[in-house]
Chains A and B, each alone.
Chain A
């Protein structure tokens, strides 16, 4: 069964990364920014038009599109 992905989180919800399901390049990029297994993430807010989203992880804030957030599987 497919688990929850990060784009499904609502503002203020938290999760922990389980896996990144993305093509090599994007996966590496997301991991470089700190999305490694087990790391905690929290959705801080959504942009005025609902996308992209602002998340906080490892003590800093990052913005990414929902399409990319979908690649981040949570446990």
Chain B
């Protein structure tokens, strides 16, 4: 089986192409070494990989490092360089680097549907001549040119033709030619190209030098002399000279192959989206609309409908099993365990589907980058970056993809801080708990729900400000972000992403929550001597009572609440199912009071997230010590906040 790697700049439509090519065969997998996701699928019997978008092979963020490492170490049989055809020049800069890797290269000119609108025509034949690569023009989102691309993939895999090497100015080429002739170059790692190695030697690329044996003295002297002469000639450092030369090649090719018939149009929506006074209100309005549509509108209808459906179902199953004289253990598991637990969670599927759908649209249309642009100044004052806003927005859906999306933040401290604060934003799985508590204790008090989100944001702000105050170095760091063209999201991308996230939620209901509902039911119905007993004397009660005293100051020092928190570590949706199994959603009032309900919600909002999010945090933080700190910080913060909220409500009410 041959391997094809898709590579290209961020926003070039790579993932859309991947989805188009692989259909439903795609899955997200880990690859050895770094546990970071890359997507993998099958096309015509070949393995195809979707790597994170990069601008160059010199890596800055963990995402870019993944792509570079893969491309250099795994030696794919074919590299497909996906090029945003409306952004030819900058895309070709990466092409000049890919051409040196000694792998067959295929140029996929994407977004052909936009070319005409932008007034650009590309001479594909000329482009193919100048790069030595086959060129196919496609539109991944419209699905045009895909057949031709598939044919060209087969041809390229057969022919294994290598691309032409981009040539620099004669002054540099002289040195490269001399270096390539030296015997020392035969010691380069297998699969690497001589020319590539010569350039890396001149650039003094640290990773490359470390992989090579010590060069002979005479050769070392020659390299140093060459570097010195280059620096003198161009009045710049060698790496800068090479970048400059690559861009000159890209400029030359783009100039020759690209015919602009009219000037590019300006963005229109953008004038409002990033305007001085309109931008932030618009952002808030969009987020409010997202929540209103999903939780308010759709959730309002479907929740009560599904709740009555499950109540109906459990009633009839109970009647049926009584009539059939089913063993009470079995009917108990079914009705009070599974239907109560899983049902309570499934109720939220429709509104989460809408939430995931709307967030996917926001992610795909190009608005997220504008949010980062308008919020950067504010985020910076809290030790975060404009890019941190993206995980926070996605976090309203689910913390797991949100934490993973922090990977685009180059600066390590900011990235880690973002990872730690992202779970403070209430995810969709926490909604059921809030909904349950709010409808029971605060009916009609609609303003409390937004306050929960506000509290989450406040936790982010406080943590950020503290981290900034404690940071002795006060490092400044770069915030460089492409503002892509707005686009109508590709329906297929939106659908796949929404489907994946919703199915993930349903899957949890069918596995973790199903299992924990059964276990909770059994533990709450039997004593340690395996006698059927009242819940009060059950194993679960005994275990819950061990930790319950810890929460007494917060007002929920009874075992049911503690056990629910424990199951919440498996999945936050379990909190509701556990409460409904152990207390029953209708008798919440005999356990909680309004003030303890508030403090309970606060604790759930801010304390350590579910196990899936914890493992995502671990992946991104990359150290157990940091993870422990993060979880302790979140839980400690939650404890103090819940204590304060409870005291405040007691004083006020």
Contacts and interface: CB of A to CB of B under 8 A. Distances in A.
B483 A48 contact: no
Given A26-B478, A51-B377, A54-B483, A33 B55 contact: yes
Contacts of B60: 25, 29
Given A26-B478, A29-B480, A63-B481, A34 B93 contact: yes
Interface stretch (B275-283, B327-335, B497-505): B275-283
B100 interface: no
A58 B250 CA distance: 11
B596 interface: no
Nearest to B276: A48
B247 interface: yes
Given A27-B240, A47-B374, A54-B373, A68 B479 contact: yes
Interface in B262-308: 264, 274-277, 279-280
B87 interface: yes
Interface residues of B, number: 41
Interface in A10-50: 19-20, 24-34, 36-37, 39, 45, 47-50
Contacts of B244: 31, 36-37
Contacts of B369: 63
Contact of A48 (B237, B277, B380, B478): B277
B386 A52 contact: yes
A36 B88 CA distance: 16
A62 B380 CA distance: 18
A65 interface: yes
B243 interface: yes
Q: Determine the main DSSP class of A at the interface with B.
A: mixed
B644 interface: no
Contacts of A39: 247
A52 B377 CA distance: 7
Interface in B208-247: 236-237, 239-240, 243-244, 247
A64 B276 contact: no
B378 interface: yes
Given A20-B240, A58-B89, A58-B90, A30 B480 contact: yes
**Most chain-B Cβ atoms within 10 A of its Cβ — which of A24, A25, A30, A58?**
A58
Contacts of A49: 374, 377-378
B55 to A, nearest CB: 5
B170 interface: no
Interface string B377-398: 1101000001000000000000
Contacts of A54: 274, 373, 483
A19 B483 CA distance: 23
Contacts of A32: 55-56, 58, 93, 243
Contact of A65 (B90, B478, B484): B478
A4 to B, nearest CB: 19
A48 to B, nearest CB: 5
A75 interface: no
A64 B480 contact: yes
Contact of B90 (A24, A48, A60): A60
Contact of B274 (A20, A28, A45, A62): A45
B159 interface: no
A30 B55 CA distance: 11
Query: Chain A interface: which size bin?
Result: 20 to 34
Contact of B480 (A19, A36, A62): A62
A34 B479 contact: no
B476 interface: yes
Contact of A33 (B240, B280, B374, B480): B480
B413 to A, nearest CB: 15
Nearest to A20: B240
Nearest to B118: A59
B151 interface: no
Residue in B243, B372, B482 whose Cβ sees the most chain A Cβ within 10 Å: B243
Contacts of B279: 47-48
Nearest to B267: A61
Contacts of A48: 274-277, 279-280, 374, 377
Nearest to A45: B274
Contacts of B280: 48
Contacts of A45: 274
Contacts of B88: 59
A59 B484 CA distance: 11
Contacts of A36: 243-244, 247
Contacts of A47: 274, 279, 373-374, 376-377
Contacts of A33: 55, 90, 480, 482
A37 B377 CA distance: 29
Nearest to B56: A32
Given A29-B480, A32-B56, A36-B243, 14 more contacts: A19-B236, A27-B240, A32-B243, A48-B275, A48-B280, A48-B374, A52-B479, A58-B87, A58-B89, A59-B89, A59-B264, A62-B481, A63-B479, A64-B479
19 contacts: A20-B240, A24-B239, A28-B58, A29-B478, A32-B55, A32-B56, A33-B482, A34-B247, A36-B243, A39-B247, A58-B87, A59-B86, A60-B482, A62-B480, A62-B482, A63-B480, A63-B482, A63-B483, A65-B478
The 3 lowest CB-CB distance pairs between A and B, nearest first, are A49-B377, A32-B56, A61-B483
Interface of A: 19-20, 24-34, 36-37, 39, 45, 47-52, 54, 58-65, 67-68
